[in-house]
């Protein structure tokens, strides 16, 4: 095997003509309709509703949702293309797509047929929005530690708890909520006993609280969500009772590929701007690009952007192929691409000099935006741990690592 993959064939990508057609379509739309609003969205912390409506008319909210449920179809690679192209100019809009995906994936993976037909078509049409409520004041990366509870009363569940930093909560029509339905058997199995439920907008006891002011990705909002004895029928339960942790992890395994794509999009644009500026700006009687230090910076930026893009698209391709290896590749892509993007954006600002730090140029906004991608959907050091543990698990199953050693290192 080609450690840690099985074969050289696992490192190839499958980019088809429809992926390029999608990229061109998204690029044209973003440049025409979204990019002119980029700085205003950041300054006002608001995405114009008519802009989201135009994106819906193009079918972009349906990318990744099967046609049988009203979507445009498409695979993980298609979702990566969409995310990268939007983030290249207006990252905040991509967060709306990403939050919808966080809601939709658990339904697609574990929902009933009735749930799929009820919730997915309006999401795909852009008529409704979804949110994913897991994070709590006590617990971010420690999903198993959440304190929100759901108590069964006959055929219904009563949910009590508080969630924070929930993207899309203020515009969401549906919120998928993770709650504890029974205590864990012991500390080693503390991930058991968590269950997902769909809570619909307007439910009694549901309150979307204050908006948190954040440094970047302005235009997409994060809010507190309070569940004060919110009742939902058992038909709103997603997946088996007690298996919510597994559903959450399988969801994150896929959506963090989209976060990597967000970073690639931002890094790509920063590189383009730096390359263009270095050949237009003169200093000491010559173009900036005439100086070897600038040439080295530009080439290093390009190498890192291309490597991050490859890792991101590889994760998406492996997921589309149903390869188990996609899970650790997704973690690698998430932390690597987001950290590459920070370096590339910072270098682009340096190449611009004083022009790089003024708001009108737009580059400083990307530096604020990219920091958030290193934290949400699993902070980067958590991704390193996740990737390592997934590798150990795979190699233990193959007999390369003994059970005893695996237990000691994880």
Catalytic positions, written as ranges: 377
Give the separation between CA 356 and CA 288, rounded to whole angstroms: 14
Where b means 16+ CB within 10 Å and e means fewer, 81-96 reads bbbbbbbbbbbbbbbb
DSSP for 313-359? HHHHHHHHTT-TTHHHHHHHHHHHHHHHHHHHHHHHHHHHGGGGGSG
Cβ contacts of residue 283 below 8 Å, gap of 6+? 291
3-state helix, strand, coil in the chain (%, to 5): 60, 15, 25
For the chain, give the longest Cα–Cα distance: 80
**Tokens, residue 87:** 């983030």
Radius of gyration of the chain (CA): 22
Q: Of 370, 372, 378, 373, which Cα lies nearest the Cα of 266? A: 370
Cβ contacts of residue 163 below 8 Å, gap of 6+? 133, 134, 135, 136, 148, 177, 224, 225, 226, 227
Give the separation between CA 262 and CA 306, rounded to whole angstroms: 14
Q: By the 8 A CB rule, do 51 and 44 touch? A: no
**Tokens, residue 265:** 């999009």
């Amino acid at each position: 095997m080609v450690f840690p993959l099985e074969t050289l064939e696992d490192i190839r990508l499958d980019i088809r003509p429809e992926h390029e057609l999608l990229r061109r379509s998204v690029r044209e739309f973003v440049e025409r309709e979204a990019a002119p609003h980029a700085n205003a969205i950041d300054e006002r912390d608001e995405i114009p509703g008519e802009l989201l409506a135009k994106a819906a008319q193009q079918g972009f909210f349906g990318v990744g949702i099967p046609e049988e449920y009203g979507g445009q179809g498409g695979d993980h690679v298609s979702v990566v293309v969409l995310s990268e192209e939007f983030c290249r100019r207006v990252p905040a809009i991509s967060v709306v797509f990403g939050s919808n995906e966080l809601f939709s994936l658990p339904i697609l993976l574990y929902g009933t047929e009735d749930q799929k037909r009820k919730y997915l078509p309006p999401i795909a049409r852009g008529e409704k929005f979804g949110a994913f409520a897991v994070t709590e004041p006590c617990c971010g990366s420690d999903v198993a530690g959440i304190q929100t509870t759901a108590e069964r009363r006959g055929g219904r569940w009563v949910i009590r708890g508080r969630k924070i930093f929930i993207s899309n909560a203020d515009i969401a029509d549906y919120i998928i909520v993770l709650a504890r339905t029974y205590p864990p058997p012991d500390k080693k199995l503390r991930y058991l006993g968590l269950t997902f439920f769909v809570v619909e907008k307007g439910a009694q006891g549901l309150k979307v609280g204050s908006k948190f002011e954040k440094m970047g990705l302005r235009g997409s909002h994060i809010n507190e969500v309070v569940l004060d004895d919110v009742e939902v029928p058992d038909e709103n339960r997603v997946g088996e009772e007690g298996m919510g942790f597994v559903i959450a992890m399988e969801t994150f395994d896929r959506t963090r590929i989209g976060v990597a794509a967000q970073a690639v999009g931002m890094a790509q644009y920063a590189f383009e701007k730096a390359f263009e500026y270095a050949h237009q700006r003169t200093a000491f009687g010559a173009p900036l690009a005439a100086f070897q230090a600038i040439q080295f910076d530009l080439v290093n930026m390009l190498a890192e952007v291309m490597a991050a893009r490859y890792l991101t698209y590889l994760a998406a391709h492996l997921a589309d192929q149903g390869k188990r290896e996609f899970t650790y590749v997704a973690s690698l892509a998430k932390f690597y691409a987001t950290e590459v993007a920070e370096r590339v954006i910072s270098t682009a600002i340096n190449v611009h000099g004083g022009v790089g730090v003024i708001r009108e140029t737009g580059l400083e906004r990307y530096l604020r935006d990219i920091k958030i991608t290193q934290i949400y959907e699993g902070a980067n050091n958590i991704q390193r741990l996740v990737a390592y543990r997934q590798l150990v698990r795979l190699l233990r199953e193959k007999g390369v690592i003994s059970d005893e050693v695996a237990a000691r290192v994880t």
